[in-house]
Every structure is written in C-alpha cells, then in structure tokens.
Amino acid sequence: MFMAKSPMDTLHFACIQIVIALLLFTHAKSTIEGSTSALHPNDAIPSCVAGEKSALLAFRAGLSDPANLLSSWKGDDCCRWKGVYCSNRTGHVVRLDLHGNGQALAGNISSSLLGLHHLRYLDLSHNRFDKVHIPEFIGSINNLRYLDLSGSLFIGRIPPQLGNLSNLRYLNLGYISDTTYSTDITWLSRLTSLEHLDMSGLNLSTLVHWLPSVNMLPTLKVLRVTNCLLKNSPDSLLLSSNDFYGPFPDGIGNMTSIVELDLSDNNLVGMIPSNMKNLCKLESLVSFRNNISGSIAELLHRLPNCSPNKLQDLSLSDNNLTGSLPTTLVEPLRNLNQLDLSDNKLTGHVPVWIGELKQLTNLDLSSKQPGRGHT
C-alpha cells in the first residue's frame, strides 16, 4: 500500500473529474478514497496553511533547480504546487513527492521542512544532492510514514537520527550513491513499525553483526540488502564446522513476518540456516552472487514448509551449490513461479516434477561452465 506512486498528471486529471462530478451532483460523494486531494470542493476548508507555504518556499530557496521542475511553486494555494499534497480534511501538507525523473533537483535541504508538521510522506529519490549529506533533521519529521532517498546521490554517513522516526513504515535507502555508508545500524531497531527496508548499495562492510537490529523489527515484510559488502559474522564462521553454519545468521529464522528477502551480491558463505523453515510468509528468497555452498537437496530441505506454501521466487544464481535436484517434488517448491539456480555446481538431470509446477513461468538451471550443469 505504500508502494503506489500515482503520477501527478493522473491525480490532477482525477481531481478535475471529481470537481466536474461535484458540479453536476452537488451531493455526490468523492471517489478518491485513500488518496489526498489537492482540491477542496468545500470552500470552508483552507486551501493552504500560510506557515506551511512559507516553509515550502524556504525549502525551495535552498534547492538548485536547473530544469525548473518547481515552476508551479507560485501563487497562494501551495496545495496545487507540483509534488505537494494536502489533506483534503485539514488542508495541511501531508505528502511531498519530489522524486527526480531524468531531471533532478540539487542544492541544500533546508530544515524549514520541519515547518510541515503534518508531513507523512517524503520522496526525494533520484535527485542530485551530490554535495550534501542526508540532513540529520529528517529524523525529527516525527509523523513520517514513508521516506524514500534512493538514488538521491547524498554523500557520506546515514544519520542515526533516522532512528527517531518511530512511525516509519517504508524506508528506502537503496543505491543512494557510491559513498554512502553506515558503520552502526542499531538505530534501525527503534523503527518498530517498519514494513519495508531497502539498504541496497550501502557500504555496510564494517558491520560485524548486521542482523540483530533488523531482527528487532516485528512487522518487517521486505528486506533488501543487496550489494552491501555484507560478510558472515565471526560466530557464524566459527560454527561452520557444525550443522548450524550459515551465510545468513541463525537469527534470520526469527523474522517470521518477512515476505521478501534479497541478500544478493554480498560475501556470504555457507548454507542457509535450518530455522528458515519457520518463515511461513516468505514469498521471495533472492540471493544472487554469494557463496552459498552445500548440497541443493539440503538447501531445499531448509526452505519454509508451511501450509499453504507461499514461496514463489527462489533465485540463487551464481552461488556454490552442489549435487542434483531431488527426484521427487519437495513441497516448499510447489507454488514457485520463478526458479533460478543457474551458475552453481549442480549435476544430474532436470527432474520430471519441474513440469508439474503449475505456476512456474521462469526457469533457469543453466551453467556457464562448459560440460557441467543439467542435460
């Protein structure tokens, strides 16, 4: 529900339609449920709160806007400005969606944003803030539910102040820039309402234990930590002679709310932990380009085996899995629509049960190594 990003043109168009409808049927009910309208059919509702308009103008003054993306930011009703969305009930600015789209904003992020006391949604993604750090004050925009800074080119450290955003449901810090890093993510554990977390491309190479903070999030559904230079923690390597060894720390089996897990492009070595069986909500397990090793049969055995089986995507290309696929269908795979085990060290034939997977639309068991792989 937090993923929807309706293009502004569509929204304005919808609003115009609604106004027409209201003109025709004075008692008609609005149909824009779930969205916040920039228009106020009822004139009694203030159109734009003066203090919030000044906050927006001060914010714009710090930006550099070579493509003139904010040319609509003039006139009294700030609720009609591009990217600004007001509550149709209170008139307060609740959403600021300034994601770049080929053309980008740059410059400085003014703390005047703090003047938007009702802001719940902030999207600054895909802009060009390549000379400034993520401002610490963003952690003080208390009402934020949604924060997207992906691809925004901010430099340097992720400010731990983000841990003050206790209402946050969605946090996207994916591929901000080559230089963004974090050496301590314990602040994450305070985001107890978080459902979606993307830290892909962040340099997390100095973290010894990366999972515990994430593991504290009781409602986390999506975790993407690809290309983060993640390593095995020392104790998981220590255990690697036992049965409990694993690239993913054992605690991953405690993330029972998780739906989507993407750990691709890290330096994780070993077998997945056996307690992953508990993850009954898991729909997608993606881990390209790690060094997951051990027998494929054992790995399949450790996948969630629940009723019903939710797993739809198992993508483990470019790892170090060995052995052959079992000759009979293992239940956890029954509802797969994507199976990618390419570029491992698998041997043997493609089993007949693959043909019985009714939902399967993508299958890749190929291998780049000549003379190996399936026949």
* The only residue of 59, 81, 129, 181 in contact with ligand NAG, by rule CB under 6 A: 181
Closest to ligand NAG by CB, 36 vs 112, is 36
How would you class 44 by CB atoms within 10 Å of its CB: exposed for 0-12, middle for 13-18, buried for 19 or more?
Answer: exposed
Out of 72, 140, 278, 337, name the contact with ligand NAG by CB under 6 A: 140
Q: How many C-beta atoms lie closer than 10 Å to residue 178's C-beta? A: 10
Task: Indicate whether 254 belongs to the interface with ligand NAG (CB under 6 A).
Answer: yes
* Interface of this chain with ligand NAG, residues 282 to 341, rule: CB under 6 A: 291, 293, 320
Q: What are phi and psi of 264, to 5 degrees?
A: -60, 160
Contact 354, 360 (CB under 8 A): yes
Does the footprint of ligand NAG cover residue 187 (CB under 6 A)?
Answer: yes
Q: Residues in contact with ligand NAG, total (CB under 6 A)?
A: 32
Q: What 3-state class would DSSP assign to 18?
A: helix
Nearer to ligand NAG, 301 or 334 (CB): 301
Per CB under 6 A, contacts with ligand NAG among 149-178 are: 160-161, 163-164
Minimum CB separation of residue 269 from ligand NAG in Å reads 5
The yes or no reply on residue 62 touching ligand NAG (CB under 6 A) is yes
Tell the smallest beta-carbon distance from residue 108 to ligand NAG (Å): 4
Selected binder of ligand NAG within 17, 64, 90, 369 (CB under 6 A) = 64
Task: Taking the CA atoms of 125, 130, 134 and 138 in sequence, report the sign of the dihedral they define.
Answer: negative
Stretch that binds ligand NAG, among 26-34, 74-82, 256-264, 328-336 (CB under 6 A): 26-34
Q: Is there binding between residue 48 and ligand NAG (CB under 6 A)? A: no
- Radius of gyration, CA atoms only, the chain: 24
C-beta separation of 372 from 348 below 8 A: no
Amino acid at the residue 228: C
Structural contact between residues 155 and 133, judged by C-beta atoms closer than 8 angstroms: yes
The neighbouring-strand residues paired with 223 are 197, 261
Instruction: Closer to ligand NAG by CB, 139 or 332: give it.
Output: 139
CB of 216 to ligand NAG, least distance (A): 8
Residue 263 CB-half CA count within 13 A? 22
Query: Does residue 124 sit in helix, strand or coil?
Result: coil
H/E segment holding residue 12: helix 8-24
The verdict on 199 binding ligand NAG (CB under 6 A) reads no
Q: What is the token pair recorded at 151?
A: 């691809």
Asked whether position 46 contacts ligand NAG by CB under 6 A, the answer is no
Residue 30 sits in the site that holds ligand NAG (CB under 6 A): yes
Q: Judged by CB under 6 A, does residue 213 bind ligand NAG?
A: no
